[in-house]
């Protein structure tokens, strides 16, 4: 084994002192990998899988937003106009359109009648259905105003930003 120079030891120590949190993270990650590769029993692996599942399930929409926002490199202003879409969100928008009441003059009507007065309602519904299919197929480029998309915890998410980007 080659001897490490004094300069290298000093540089390593300086880096370690300057990057304490990063060093702590790297060491912990390495220890976890080593434990899994060399020491873990079947029971350990089973318990670790449960822990990983809980950690993944706890990743809420705020953290998903942060992941996708970083991926899209959004500015603070753009973040104000961005929203995470998942299957549940799109289903909710579809339900709102289908179950909504619409006013035309003095008349209040349901969706089936309203689309006769306003064809854009049917188009909006059709677009949402197409975007849902695109989301489920991970084809994020087919979702209007989608600036980033990813599969997180086995669920597809799209970050949609309504602020026009240059």
Q: Does one domain contain both 47 and 84?
A: no
Band of the pLDDT at 40, cuts 50, 70, 90?
A: very high
Q: Does one domain contain both 67 and 100?
A: yes
User: Residues 91, 135, 153, CA angle at the centre, nearest 5°?
Assistant: 95
Q: Which domain holds residue 21?
A: 1-58
- What mean pLDDT is predicted for residues 14-23? 88
Is pLDDT of 26 > 60?
yes
- What mean pLDDT is predicted for residues 16-42? 92
The pLDDT, as a whole number, for residue 43 is 93
Secondary structure (DSSP) of 102-131: EEETTEEE-HHHHHHH-HHHHHHHHHHHHH
Q: Does one domain contain both 99 and 21?
A: no
Mean pLDDT of the chain: 89
Q: Does one domain contain both 47 and 100?
A: no
The pLDDT, as a whole number, for residue 1 is 63
Is pLDDT of 166 > 70?
no
What single DSSP character describes residue 140?
Answer: G
pLDDT in tens, 78-92: 889 999 999 989 999
Band of the pLDDT at 39, cuts 50, 70, 90?
A: very high
The Cα–Cα gap between 130 and 120 comes to: 15
Is pLDDT of 54 > 80?
no
Query: Do you know the residue count of the chain?
Result: 166
Higher pLDDT pick, 65 / 1? 65
The Cα–Cα gap between 142 and 7 comes to: 54
The pLDDT, as a whole number, for residue 164 is 66
- What mean pLDDT is predicted for residues 66-81? 90
The alpha carbon dihedral of 34, 37, 38, 43 has a sign of positive
Q: Does one domain contain both 54 and 76?
A: no
What single DSSP character describes residue 164?
Answer: P
Band of the pLDDT at 16, cuts 50, 70, 90?
A: confident
pLDDT in tens, 100-152: 888 888 889 999 999 888 889 999 999 999 999 999 999 999 999 999 999 98
Beta-carbon count within 10 A of 140 CB = 22
Q: Does one domain contain both 75 and 36?
A: no
Q: Does one domain contain both 107 and 141?
A: yes
């Amino acid at each position: 084994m080659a001897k490490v120079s004094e300069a290298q030891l000093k540089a390593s120590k300086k880096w370690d002192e300057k990057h304490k949190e990063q060093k702590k993270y790297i060491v912990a990650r390495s220890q976890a990998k080593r434990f899994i590769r060399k020491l873990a029993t079947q029971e350990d692996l089973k318990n670790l899988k449960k822990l990983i599942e809980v950690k993944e399930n706890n990743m809420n929409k705020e953290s998903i937003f942060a992941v996708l926002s970083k991926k899209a490199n959004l500015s603070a202003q753009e973040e104000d106009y961005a929203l995470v879409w998942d299957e549940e969100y799109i289903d909710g928008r579809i339900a709102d359109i289908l179950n909504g009441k619409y006013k035309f003059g003095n008349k209040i009507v349901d969706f089936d009648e309203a689309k006769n007065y306003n064809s854009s309602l049917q188009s909006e519904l059709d677009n949402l259905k197409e975007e849902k299919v695109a989301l489920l197929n991970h084809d994020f480029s087919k979702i209007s105003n989608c600036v980033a998309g990813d599969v997180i915890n086995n669920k597809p998410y799209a970050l949609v930003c309504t602020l026009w980007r240059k």
